[in-house]
Structures are given as structure tokens and as C-alpha cells.
Chains A and B, each alone.
Chain A
Amino acid sequence: MVRIKPTRELSLAVLLAALIIFLSLTTNFNTVSGIYSFLLAASPTIVAAIALAMVIFTGNIDISAGTISGFVAFTTGYLFRAGVPMLLAALAGIVVGVALAGLNGLISVKFRVPSIVVTLAMTMVHIGAYATFLPGSGWVENLGPGFTWFGRGRLLGVIPYAFVVAMLVAVAMMWVAKYTRFGRSLYAVGGNAQAAVYSGINPDRTVIKVFFLEGALLGISAVMRATTRSEIMPSVFIGRELFFIAAALVGGVSIFGGVGKLSGVVLGSALVYLLTVTMIYLGFQDYYQFALQGTIILLAVFISSGDFSRLKRFLRPGTVGGTQ
């Protein structure tokens, strides 16, 4: 039973295709190196946006996703420098991600503090910790090819290993969201917490679990990004959460919880990344880039929602509003 409905995923895909065509016509995007670098750059965002989306499904958020990624990258790089085998170092990094994100969830649930407050505060704590506790503010360099083989490696010359992993993660998480009780309960908790309790779901447990899962995915994402370069500076991850959250929202996730699809999030991440690439090709400076990107994200959320009735109502004055 396959029916094509004018869904958000469809409008996102169309938008994405339009952008790719535009880029291939006007730039050298449509080359092996163009595609490779796009996939490489988009992969960590895809995984992290999925992580964030699952947290947002429950009506929560993790503002500290960026700074947590910084810790993961640092841990992995630092241990590798100290002689720990790459795989173990990466695993240790992921464990740090799980611990930090899990801590956010635990604090939020146990002390009944909204996750936006907990994670906002945590972001500041993390930034402070970078400077205070990490040796050399977390700066690790000269990691070499033993470190970057994963991040820079490619299949068949075009497909980055990172992208393969990102797709595996995406498929696995889509499965979790659709075919497990845990996945369904994410939507339930965010959709109507009271009704979730009435349906036999324990919202607290669900939220704690999703934060731990988010940490693991953030860990994978951060290792992907870190291993593309030979040096690590945790502070470059500050602010990354904006992209993760934006990608999830562009992908159709409702910031109020309970609504969204991970397939949309994958497309959303690709779109947000493609916008960045477009900016670079079009030669915009960094600071213009941010402002333009913000504007375009707003537009993307709006267009991809496929809901123009609001616009119509907005243009026809006198019919907006009216609460009972």
C-alpha cells in the first residue's frame, strides 16, 4: 500500500533536488570531489540531528549538544595521542558523550527542571571547563593519518565512510522510532504527557533513556567530524547545536514535541548543509553566511511544511486569532 501524499518529506526532497540542480548548473558541485565533500560534511550533522530530533520528540531539548560534541572530540584525540588504539579512543569519546547527555536527562527528570534550563546551564559549564580543565584548552594537534583514516576514508572514491555510518545510524533509528515500544513512547510523552501516563508509559524513564541514546549518537557524530582533521579544538563545536536543531526542525520535527519523522530529519540535515555549501560556492563571507542561512532556514521550515493556509489567512486580514 504505497500512497503518495503531499507530505513534508516530499516537499523537502523536491527542494533538495532543486538546489542540487542549481548547484550543478552554476558551479562545479557536480563532480566527484564536490559530491564527496558534501556527503562528508553532511554526515555528522545527519547523525546529530537525529539525536536531537529524538530528544525533541519527547518535548525536551539539548542545548549543550554542541559542547558535548567538543568533549567527545577532545577525549578521542587526546587518548589517541597518548597511544590508545583508535577504536578504543573513539569508544571512550562516545562514552563521554553518553555520560554528559545522560547527566542532562537525569538532572532534568530527577530535579524537575525543564531540559532547556538544564542544558543551557550545562553549555556554560562545558565552555568554562574547556578553558579550565582541559590541557591546553583541549587543543590537540598532529594526530596524523592513524587518526584520520576513518574521517577521510572513502568507498569507491566518492562515498565517505562517515556517510555509510550515518546512513546505517539513520536506518537503525528509523526502525527504533517505528518498530519499538521505546520509539513510540517518545512521541507519546511529547504529544501528551498525561495521556502517556494513562497509557501505561513512564515518561521519566523514557526521557532519561532518550538522553542517553542522544549522547551515544552525538558521540558517533563528533568522532566523524573530529577524524576529518589532524587537529582538534573543542571550541569549534560551540554553536553546532544550532545546526542540529535547525536540521531537525527543517525536517519537520515539532519543537513542541510529539510530531516528526526521522526520514524528514535526514533530508532536513542535507538541506541545511547544502545551503551552507551553496553559500560557500556563491562566495559569501562567514558572517553573511550565518545571517543568510538563518533566513533560509526560516524559509525552508515554512516551505517544507507545505501548509500555506496560514499564509492565506495572514494575507486576508481580520480572520487571524480568536481564542475562545
Chain B
Amino acid sequence: MENNTIMNITGVHKYFPGVHALSDVSLDLQRDEVHAVCGENGAGKSTLMKIIAGVYRPDDGLITLEGQPFVVHEPNEAYRKGIAIIYQESSLFPDMTVLENIFIGHEIRKPVLRGLRSPQMIDYRAMREKANAVFNRLGISVDLDRTVRTIGVATKQMIEIAKALSFDSRILILDEPTAALANREVDALFKTIRSLKSEGVSMLYISHRLDEIFEIADRVTVLRDGKHVATERVAATDRNQLVSWMVGRSLDNLYPKEDVEIGEVIFEAQSVSLRGVLEDISFNARRGEIVGISGLAGSGRTELALSLCGLVPPDSGTIKLNGKAVRIHSYREALEHGIAYVSEDRQVYGLVLPMTLKVNITHKAIRQITNLFSVINRGKEEQIAAEYMHRLAIKAPDSEFVVNKLSGGNQQKVSVAKSLAVEPEVLIVDEPTRGVDVGAKSELHRIISELAKSGKAIIMISSDLPEIIGMCDRTIVLKRGRKMGELLRNEMNQEQILHMAL
């Protein structure tokens, strides 16, 4: 056993100003093992991974790689020691092509001239070949010359994965690689993980989707509040055990949906079309109702949401609120009509990362906290921020904390809080629980349910089918920009939805 250990982490501490992110954490990684790391949002998982990847240095503790002390000062050194990482937050360059993104920082080079000390130049052909090989392995084809800015979240995530795979590493760290992926891509990823494992690559795998851990991992380590709680073989534990290690209590219901009296139609979309993307989509949402939008990635789910809330005004079609046609050509108009949207991409569209929690939460609700002269009422701002930090259990020292220092899941909560704070009549949520831990997920679901109960309408996009089935009264299914049909709550099951979506 002992000499099968590739990396050993003992007694690691990490302090950030005001936060003791890791406290005496130990973990050992075996050769060709998939080792899952679990814990609530802000438990310290990403911080630990970033220490291994050379982004942060531990304040105390010892790490060894194959028995040798492992000290790295920057990611570059970690890569050279055979450690590759898929970061939780996007590390792509929007203005570069897919190919450039995959190899940036570790481009394949060849000598300019034949000769020993010849300078090196980038070998685009070799990079192309390798990139194609990696995408083949992942079972997808991606245009290598396309600019990343124009690519959807799921494909971007696959590019991040391809980037990490292009390193030929001994240790691969995957920090929530599947948060943005649908089933099919997850399957391809898992196949790749298994074959890497058989080639002797060790992996650290982080996910809030517990089913995945039971499917892919050999062992699991649980962190809570920066402390090590347990390490166990996956086969020797179960879901409830895992949840109680993570949350410190057991959790009864992930989908706390309430029985609600459904009222009159409040929101109606008629024949909404967007050239090349959406075709003639009609549906409505009634007071008290949660309406799901399902479909594969690329089926037009997000585009539909964007056109309903004025961010990408549709080419044709009508939107009616309370039976009256309204003109929504910008997001501002949507907000004025009481429609709010939570983006699927919190980092790019959802948040102003370098600003504080307070500013972010009240950003859309700015009208509610300003007076006649557009001066911000500080007390009110603080009060709203505090209310949502409390309701969504956002883990931060105070409301002045800068959002990009929050853990990924807590950023997601802020992104949702922004839209809740405007107290919308119609709330459109796009992958609302992406990257959120089980406890917080149940809590977010409860908040959404309560909102519906108070007579609002909710439109929910999610690739997580159990979430759609658990929460929605009705779901419409999209396929290639067309509506394939609607399913009522009692008709919904995974097979039926997939059958319509495929």
C-alpha cells in the first residue's frame, strides 16, 4: 500500500484574510485511483486543489510527490511535475481559438532549424493532430479554429477538459468538471476517466452530484469548514452517510415542492422565433406554477430565455403579461415588467466579480435602494444584502467581501440572489443550482417553491432531469430550436423527456 501512494498531503493549513480555508487537512492519493473530494460550498475543496496545482502555497503542512517533498511556486512548475488541473472557474481565453486555448502556455514546439541549440517555434500541425486526438477520445468534434467567445458553456467545459488532457499528466485534478455538462457528455468524460485510470493516471475528482461519485470514484474524502471529516472507500459508504458527513446532519428532501393553487396565466410567449435558433415557440406560465424547459445542450433553451427577457430580442413573436402584449427589447424593459433572469454563466454574465457581495446582490434591484435623486440608501442596501446572504446561507465574512473570492457555489448563490432581490413577478432561472452543494440546493429549491406559492411564475431551465421532474408542474421540451411538446407533472419521467429531446 505505502509505495503505491503517489501523493501524500499531511496537515495542510491555508489562511486567507478573515478565512481559515483549510485547517489540518490530510489526504493521500494512490496510483491509478479516482479519489473524490466532497463538501459543502466553501468547504475548501478548490483551495486544496489550487495548492496542489501551484496557485496557492500552503501556510503549513507537508506535501510529497512520490516520496519527494513537493514544493511549487507557480502552476508552471506543477504542470512540469505532471499535474494537470481543470479549474472550477473558466480558464479559457474568449478571443483565442479552440486550438490556441488548448495549448496556451504549453505549445508543442519544434526546432526552427535542424540543430542542437536551434531556437524553437510552435508546431501548429502537431498541435492540431494532438487536439483532434483528444477530442476523439472525448467523443466530440469541435472546430479548432473557432473563437471560444462564440461557444456555449457545455462545449467550453469540454475544451477545458481537452486542455487538461493535452498535458499527458500523472495526476489529473477535476474540479466540478460536470457542473455544466449534460448526461451524454458526462458519459464520454467518464469513459475517458476510466481509460486514463487504466493507463495509470491518478485523479482527484470534485462534484456536488453524489451519484457521479458512486459511479466513478474509488475512495472519497469529505471536507467540512476546511477540516477533514472522513476518507472512505466508496463501496463501503452510501449517499446518506456522505450527506451527513458533508452537512453534519441528514437531509430529507432535495425537492421540497409545495402544493400550490395554480392561478391565471401571467406570462405568455406566442410564436417566438429567432433566426436560425428558435422556431415558433409558444407556451405560457400561470401564477404559482413552475414551468420547466428541457432539451439537450444546444437545443435553444438558453436562447429562448434570452429572447424572453430582452437580452436577445426575438425576430418575431409576442410576449404577453397578464394578457396584454408588452414590448421587451432590452433587459431593462424586462426588469421594469417584473421579469428577471438568472444566467447559466455566472462568471461571464451573472456577476460583477471584482465587486462586493453587497453591490452584486442589489445590482438589479438598484431602483429599490435609491431615492428620488438616484442616491443609494446605504442602510437599505445593507439590509437587502444581509437578508439574502442569510436566506441563501452565503458563506462570507461580511457583505463587503469581494465576489471573486467566494467559493464557486457561493458565487452561484449570489447570482440567484441578484434576481430574487428585484422581487420579480416572473423569474426565469437558467441552471440555478449549478455547482451548489446538496444542502444549499434543497434550500434554493425551497425558496423557488415559496416564490411560486406566493403567486409568482417560475420558468426553470435545467439539464438536471431529476431537478425538472422534482420541481416543475409542467415542462416543455425543446429540440433544435423547436418545441416538441409539453409534459404535465404526472407524465414526466426521464425516459419520456429524453425521448422527446433526442
**Pick from A175, A191, A196: contact of B105, CB under 8 Å:** A196
Interface status of B79 (Cβ within 8 A of chain A): yes
Is B331 a contact partner of A319 (Cβ separation < 8 A)? no
- Interface segment, one of A116-124, A198-206, A262-270: A198-206
Q: How large is the interface on A (under 10, 10 to 19, 20 to 34, 35 or more residues)?
A: 20 to 34
Task: Looking at the assembled complex, report how far the CB atom of A306 sits from the nearest CB atom of chain B, in whole angstroms.
Answer: 15
Is A322 a contact partner of B331 (Cβ separation < 8 A)? yes
Give 1 or 0 for each of A285-324: 1 = CB within 8 Å of chain B CB: 0000000000000000000000000000000001111111
Q: With A319-B329, A324-B341, A324-B349 as given contacts, are A180 and B121 in contact (CB-CB < 8 Å)?
A: yes
Is B105 a contact partner of A322 (Cβ separation < 8 A)? no
In the complex, which residues of chain B have a beta carbon less than 8 angstroms from the beta carbon of A187? 93, 95-96, 100
**CB-contacts of B88-119 with A (<8 A):** 90-96, 100, 104-107, 109
**Pick from B93, B327, B418: contact of A191, CB under 8 Å:** B93
CB-nearest residue of chain A to B163: A199
Is A198 a contact partner of B55 (Cβ separation < 8 A)? yes
Q: With A320-B330, A324-B349 as given contacts, are A181 and B91 in contact (CB-CB < 8 Å)?
A: no
A10 and B59 alpha carbons, distance in the complex (Å): 54
Residue of A179, A185, A202 with most chain B CB atoms under a 10 A cut-off: A179
Interface status of A195 (Cβ within 8 A of chain B): yes
CB-nearest residue of chain A to B50: A198
Task: Looking at the assembled complex, report how far the CB atom of A313 sits from the nearest CB atom of chain B, in whole angstroms.
Answer: 10
**CB-contacts of B314-368 with A (<8 A):** 327, 329-333, 341, 343, 349-350, 364
Secondary structure at chain B's binding surface: helix, strand, loop or mixed?
A: loop
Is A184 a contact partner of B122 (Cβ separation < 8 A)? yes
Give 1 or 0 for each of A200-216: 1 = CB within 8 Å of chain B CB: 11100000000000000
Q: With A198-B87, A200-B105 as given contacts, are A318 and B122 in contact (CB-CB < 8 Å)?
A: no
Give 1 or 0 for each of A172-187: 1 = CB within 8 Å of chain B CB: 0001001111001101
Q: With A184-B104, A318-B329, A324-B311 as given contacts, are A200 and B95 in contact (CB-CB < 8 Å)?
A: no
Interface status of B60 (Cβ within 8 A of chain A): no
In the complex, which residues of chain B have a beta carbon less than 8 angstroms from the beta carbon of A27? none
**CB-contacts of B9-53 with A (<8 A):** 53
CB-nearest residue of chain B to A199: B105
Interface status of A192 (Cβ within 8 A of chain B): yes
In the complex, which residues of chain B have a beta carbon less than 8 angstroms from the beta carbon of A188? 93, 96, 104-105
CB-nearest residue of chain A to B147: A259
Task: Looking at the assembled complex, report how far the CB atom of B348 sits from the nearest CB atom of chain A, in whole angstroms.
Answer: 10
Interface status of A7 (Cβ within 8 A of chain B): no
**CB-contacts of A67-111 with B (<8 A):** none
Q: With A191-B96, A197-B74, A200-B106 as given contacts, are A322 and B79 in contact (CB-CB < 8 Å)?
A: no
A259 and B343 alpha carbons, distance in the complex (Å): 26
* In the complex, number of A-B residue pairs with CB atoms less than 8 Å apart: 96
Task: Looking at the assembled complex, report how far the CB atom of B347 sits from the nearest CB atom of chain A, in whole angstroms.
Answer: 10
Q: How large is the interface on B (under 10, 10 to 19, 20 to 34, 35 or more residues)?
A: 35 or more
A178 and B123 alpha carbons, distance in the complex (Å): 10
CB-nearest residue of chain A to B54: A200
Is A195 a contact partner of B90 (Cβ separation < 8 A)? yes
CB-nearest residue of chain B to A323: B331
Interface status of B313 (Cβ within 8 A of chain A): yes
Interface status of B409 (Cβ within 8 A of chain A): no
A258 and B121 alpha carbons, distance in the complex (Å): 21
In the complex, which residues of chain A have a beta carbon less than 8 angstroms from the beta carbon of B343? 324
Is A181 a contact partner of B107 (Cβ separation < 8 A)? yes
In the complex, which residues of chain B have a beta carbon less than 8 angstroms from the beta carbon of A198? 53, 55, 75, 85, 87, 91
Is B91 a contact partner of A194 (Cβ separation < 8 A)? yes
**CB-contacts of A144-202 with B (<8 A):** 175, 178-181, 184-185, 187-188, 191-192, 194-202
A184 and B93 alpha carbons, distance in the complex (Å): 12
In the complex, which residues of chain B have a beta carbon less than 8 angstroms from the beta carbon of A191? 93-96
A184 and B331 alpha carbons, distance in the complex (Å): 37
Q: With A321-B330, A321-B332, A323-B331 as given contacts, are A199 and B311 in contact (CB-CB < 8 Å)?
A: no
In the complex, which residues of chain B have a beta carbon less than 8 angstroms from the beta carbon of A324? 311, 331, 341, 343, 349-350, 364, 418
**Pick from B93, B120, B122, B350: contact of A192, CB under 8 Å:** B93
Is B104 a contact partner of A199 (Cβ separation < 8 A)? yes
CB-nearest residue of chain B to A260: B95
In the complex, which residues of chain A have a beta carbon less than 8 angstroms from the beta carbon of B192? none
Residue of A180, A191, A322 with most chain B CB atoms under a 10 A cut-off: A322
In the complex, which residues of chain B have a beta carbon less than 8 angstroms from the beta carbon of A179? 121-122
| Other A-B pairs beyond A194-B91, A201-B105, 8, CB < 8 Å | A185-B105, A188-B96, A191-B95, A195-B92, A196-B105, A254-B95, A258-B95, A319-B329
Task: Give me the 10 closest cross-chain CB pairs, A-B, nearest first.
Answer: A322-B331, A199-B105, A322-B330, A200-B76, A200-B105, A198-B91, A191-B93, A195-B91, A179-B121, A200-B75
